[in-house]
A and B are shown apart, each in its own frame.
Chain A
Amino acid sequence: MDLLTNALHDAFAPIAISYVLAAIGLNIHYGYTGLLNFGQAAFAAVGAYGMAVLIVSFDVPLVPALLLALVGAVLLALVMGLPTLRLRADYLAIVTIAVAEIARLIFSTSFKQYFNARDGVQGFTADFRDLNPYGEGAIGFSRNDLWVITVGWLLVALVLAFVFLLMRSPWGRVLKSIREDEDAVRSLGKNVYSYKLQALILGGVIGALGGFVGALGKGSVQPDSFNTDFTFIAFTMLILGGAARVMSPVVGAVLFWFLLTFMDVLLKRITGDGGFVPGWLLNPDQTGNVRFMIVGLVLMLLMIFRPQGIFGDKKELAIDAR
Chain B
Amino acid sequence: MPADLEKSRGAAAAALADVAHEPGAAKPDPIVVVDNITRQFGGLKAVDVGHLEIQRGVITALIGPNGAGKTTFFNLLTGFDTPDTGERYLNGKSLKRVAAYKVAKLGMVRTFQLTKVLSKLTVLENMRLGATSQLGERFWAGPLAFLWSGQEKANTERARELLRRFKLDAKENDFAGSLSGGQRKLLEMARALMVEPELVMLDEPMAGVNPALKQSLLGHVKSLRDEGMTVLFVEHDMDMVRDISDWVVVMAAGAVIAEGPPHSIMSDQRVIDAYLGAHHDTDISDLDPEEILAEAEAEIEAEKEGNA
Q: Which residues of A contact B145 (CB under 8 A)?
A: 165, 168-169
B112 at the interface (CB under 8 A from A): yes
CA distance A186 to B103 in the complex (A): 9
Q: Are B195 and A188 in touch, CB under 8 angstroms?
A: yes
Q: Which residues of A contact B116 (CB under 8 A)?
A: 181, 183-184, 187
Segment 87-145 of B: residues with Cβ below 8 Å from A: 99-102, 104-105, 109-112, 116-121, 125, 128-130, 132, 134, 136-139, 141-143, 145
Q: How close is A322's CB to chain B, nearest CB, in angstroms?
A: 7
Q: How close is B107's CB to chain A, nearest CB, in angstroms?
A: 9
CB within 8 Å: A-B pair count: 110
Q: Are B143 and A166 in touch, CB under 8 angstroms?
A: yes
Q: Which residues of A contact B191 (CB under 8 A)?
A: 188
Q: Are A198 and B101 in touch, CB under 8 angstroms?
A: no
Q: Are B119 and A320 in touch, CB under 8 angstroms?
A: yes
Q: Which residues of A contact B137 (CB under 8 A)?
A: 169-171, 173-174, 190
Interface size class on chain B is 35 or more
Q: Are A315 and B143 in touch, CB under 8 angstroms?
A: no
Q: How close is B84's CB to chain A, nearest CB, in angstroms?
A: 20
Q: Which residues of A contact B8 (CB under 8 A)?
A: none
B178 at the interface (CB under 8 A from A): yes
CA distance A174 to B134 in the complex (A): 11
Query: Which of A169, A176, A185, A315 makes the CB contact (< 8 A) with B148?
Result: A169
A135 at the interface (CB under 8 A from B): no
Q: Are B120 and A189 in touch, CB under 8 angstroms?
A: no
CA distance A189 to B137 in the complex (A): 12
Q: Assuming A170-B136, A170-B152, is B120 touching A180 (CB within 8 A)? A: yes
Q: How close is B233's CB to chain A, nearest CB, in angstroms?
A: 15
Interface size on A, residues (CB 8 A): 31
CA distance A276 to B78 in the complex (A): 71
Select the residue from A173, A174, A180, A183 with max chain B CB neighbours within 10 A.
A173
Q: Are A192 and B118 in touch, CB under 8 angstroms?
A: no
Q: Are A177 and B129 in touch, CB under 8 angstroms?
A: yes
Q: Which residues of A contact B78 (CB under 8 A)?
A: 187
B175 at the interface (CB under 8 A from A): yes
Given contacts A187-B80, A316-B120, A319-B177, 14 further A-B contacts (CB under 8 A): A162-B143, A170-B129, A177-B121, A180-B120, A180-B121, A184-B112, A186-B100, A188-B101, A188-B104, A188-B194, A189-B105, A315-B175, A320-B119, A320-B177
Q: Which residues of B contact A192 (CB under 8 A)?
A: 101
Can you list the 3 inter-chain pairs with the closest CB atoms, starting with the nearest? A170-B136, A189-B104, A319-B177
Q: Which residues of B contact A187 (CB under 8 A)?
A: 78, 80, 100-101, 104, 109-112, 116, 192
**What string of 1s and 0s marks CB contacts (under 8 Å) between B178-204 and chain A?**
100000000000011011000000000
Closest to B143 in A: A165
Q: Assuming A170-B152, A180-B118, is B178 touching A319 (CB within 8 A)? A: yes
Q: Which residues of B contact A6 (CB under 8 A)?
A: none
Q: Which residues of A contact B120 (CB under 8 A)?
A: 176, 180, 316, 319
Q: Which residues of A contact B112 (CB under 8 A)?
A: 183-184, 187
Interface residues of A (CB under 8 A from B): 162, 165-166, 168-174, 176-177, 180-181, 183-192, 198, 202, 315-316, 319-320, 322
CA distance A177 to B131 in the complex (A): 14
CA distance A172 to B139 in the complex (A): 9
Q: Are B101 and A186 in touch, CB under 8 angstroms?
A: yes
Q: Are A170 and B104 in touch, CB under 8 angstroms?
A: no
Q: How close is A308's CB to chain B, nearest CB, in angstroms?
A: 12
CA distance A194 to B286 in the complex (A): 60
Q: Assuming A171-B136, A183-B80, A322-B177, is B109 touching A188 (CB within 8 A)? A: yes
CA distance A174 to B141 in the complex (A): 14
- A and B contact pairs by CB, cutoff 8 A, 12 listed: A169-B136, A170-B137, A176-B120, A180-B119, A186-B99, A188-B101, A188-B130, A188-B192, A198-B139, A202-B139, A320-B119, A320-B177
Q: Are B132 and A189 in touch, CB under 8 angstroms?
A: yes
Closest to A321 in B: B177
Q: Assuming A173-B125, A174-B129, A198-B139, is B101 touching A191 (CB within 8 A)? A: yes
Q: Are B148 and A189 in touch, CB under 8 angstroms?
A: no
CA distance A180 to B125 in the complex (A): 13
Q: Which residues of A contact B178 (CB under 8 A)?
A: 319
Q: Assuming A181-B116, A183-B80, is B143 touching A169 (CB within 8 A)? A: yes
CA distance A282 to B1 in the complex (A): 87
Closest to A167 in B: B142
Closest to B188 in A: A184
Q: Are B100 and A170 in touch, CB under 8 angstroms?
A: no
Q: Are B143 and A189 in touch, CB under 8 angstroms?
A: no
CA distance A320 to B120 in the complex (A): 8
Q: Which residues of B contact A316 (CB under 8 A)?
A: 120, 175
CA distance A319 to B116 in the complex (A): 14
Closest to B191 in A: A188
Segment 187-238 of B: residues with Cβ below 8 Å from A: 191-192, 194-195
Q: Are A171 and B142 in touch, CB under 8 angstroms?
A: yes
CA distance A78 to B32 in the complex (A): 37
Q: Are A185 and B129 in touch, CB under 8 angstroms?
A: yes
Q: Which residues of B contact A183 (CB under 8 A)?
A: 80, 100, 112, 116
Q: Which residues of B contact A170 (CB under 8 A)?
A: 128-129, 134, 136-137, 142, 148, 152
Closest to B134 in A: A170
Q: Which residues of B contact A168 (CB under 8 A)?
A: 145
